[in-house]
Amino acid sequence: MRADLIVGIQWGDEGKGKIVDMLAQQYDVVCRYQGGHNAGHTIWVDGVRYALHLIPSGVLNPKAINIIGNGVVVSPSDLIKEMSQFEGLEGRLFISDKAHLILSYHSMIDRAKEELKGNKAIGTTGKGIGPSYADKINRTGHRVGELLNPNSLVEKILEYFEFYSSIFEAMKIQTPSKEEILKEVSEYKKILAPYIVNTTNMVWDFLDSGKKVLLEGAQGTMLDIDHGTYPYVTSSNTISAGACSGLGLNPKQIGKVTGIVKAYCTRVGNGPFPTEDFGKDGQTMAEVGMEKGTTTGRVRRCGWFDAVLVKYAAKLNGCDDLSLMKLDVLDGFDTIKICVAYELDGKVIDYAPSDLENVKPIYKNVKGWSSVKGIREFDKLPIEAKEYINTIEQITGVKVGIVSTSPERDDTIIR
Q: What is the pLDDT of residues 245-261, one digit of tens each?
A: 999 999 999 999 999 99
Domain co-membership, 231 together with 264: yes
In this prediction, residue 294 has a pLDDT band, given cuts at 50, 70 and 90, of low
Task: Read off the pLDDT of each residue in 374-379 and give the average, rounded to a whole number.
Answer: 96
Domain co-membership, 315 together with 393: yes
Residue 367 lies in a domain: yes
3-state secondary structure 273-306: CCCECCCHHHHHHHHHCCCECCCCCCECEEECEE
pLDDT at 49: 78
Which of 157-161, 305-309, 396-400, 406-410 bottoms out in mean pLDDT, i.e. has the lowest? Answer: 406-410
Residue 87 lies in a domain: no
Residue 90 lies in a domain: no
For residue 317, pLDDT over 70 is answered with yes
Domain co-membership, 246 together with 140: no
For residue 40, pLDDT over 70 is answered with no
Fill in the DSSP letter of residue 328.
G
In this prediction, residue 109 has a pLDDT band, given cuts at 50, 70 and 90, of confident
Residue 218 lies in a domain: yes
Report d(CA 326, CA 229) in Å as an integer.
24
Domain co-membership, 139 together with 215: no
Domain co-membership, 223 together with 144: no
Task: Read off the pLDDT of each residue in 23-42 and give the average, rounded to a whole number.
Answer: 87
Task: Read off the pLDDT of each residue in 353-368 and give the average, rounded to a whole number.
Answer: 95
For residue 125, pLDDT over 80 is answered with no
Domain co-membership, 151 together with 241: no
For residue 335, pLDDT over 80 is answered with yes
pLDDT at 116: 60
Domain co-membership, 240 together with 149: no
Report d(CA 210, CA 204) in Å as an integer.
10
pLDDT at 331: 97
pLDDT over 70 for what percent of the chain?
95
Candidates 20, 39, 108; CA nearest to 296 is 39
280 and 203 Cβ atoms separated by less than 8 Å:
no
265 and 11 Cβ atoms separated by less than 8 Å:
yes
Which of 160-174, 285-299, 326-340, 350-364 bottoms out in mean pLDDT, i.e. has the lowest? Answer: 285-299
pLDDT at 264: 98
pLDDT at 122: 60
Residue 105 sits in a domain whose CATH number is 1.10.300.10
Query: Could you read off the pLDDT of 388-399 as tens digits, one per residue?
Result: 999 999 999 999
Residue 219 lies in a domain: yes
Domain co-membership, 288 together with 175: no
Which phi and psi angles does 72 have, rounded to 5°?
A: -85, 145
Give how many domains the chain has, as a whole number: 2
Domain co-membership, 66 together with 214: yes
3-state secondary structure 39-86: CCEEEEECCEEEEECCCCHHHHCCCCEEEECCCEEECHHHHHHHHCCC
Candidates 211, 215, 261; CA nearest to 20 is 215
Is the model more confident about 201 or about 16?
Answer: 201
SS3 at position 339: strand
Q: How far is CA 412 from CA 233, 264, 280, 286, in A?
A: 30, 17, 28, 21
Average pLDDT in the chain: 92
Residue 212 lies in a domain: yes
Residue 92 lies in a domain: no
- Active-site positions? 13, 41
For residue 65, pLDDT over 80 is answered with yes
For residue 121, pLDDT over 60 is answered with no
Task: Read off the pLDDT of each residue in 29-33 and give the average, rounded to a whole number.
Answer: 96
Which of 65-74, 104-113, 125-134, 228-237 bottoms out in mean pLDDT, i.e. has the lowest? Answer: 104-113
Q: Kindly report the pTM of this predicted structure.
A: 0.91
For residue 84, pLDDT over 60 is answered with yes
Domain that holds residue 157: 100-194
Task: Read off the pLDDT of each residue in 318-343 and give the average, rounded to a whole number.
Answer: 97
Domain co-membership, 153 together with 269: no
For residue 113, pLDDT over 90 is answered with no
Residue 255 sits in a domain whose CATH number is 3.90.170.10
270 and 114 Cβ atoms separated by less than 8 Å:
no
For residue 119, pLDDT over 70 is answered with no
With b for 16 or more beta-carbon neighbours within 10 A and e for fewer, the 329-362 pattern comes to: bbbebeebbbbbbbeeeeeeeeebeeebeebebb
Q: How far is CA 178 from CA 173, 174, 186, 339, in A?
A: 16, 13, 12, 55
Q: Which of 142, 162, 194 is the last residue of a domain?
A: 194
Helices 150-163 and 178-192, axial angle in degrees (round to 10): 140
In this prediction, residue 383 has a pLDDT band, given cuts at 50, 70 and 90, of very high
Q: Which of 144, 174, 194 is the last residue of a domain?
A: 194
Residue 131 lies in a domain: yes
Q: CA angle, 73 as apex, 318 and 112 as ends, to 5°?
A: 115
Domain co-membership, 11 together with 139: no
Task: Read off the pLDDT of each residue in 329-339 and give the average, rounded to a whole number.
Answer: 97
Domain co-membership, 204 together with 160: no
Q: Which of 129, 159, 194 is the last residue of a domain?
A: 194
Report d(CA 260, CA 242) in Å as an integer.
16
Query: Could you read off the pLDDT of 163-184 as tens digits, one per residue?
Result: 888 888 888 888 889 999 999 9
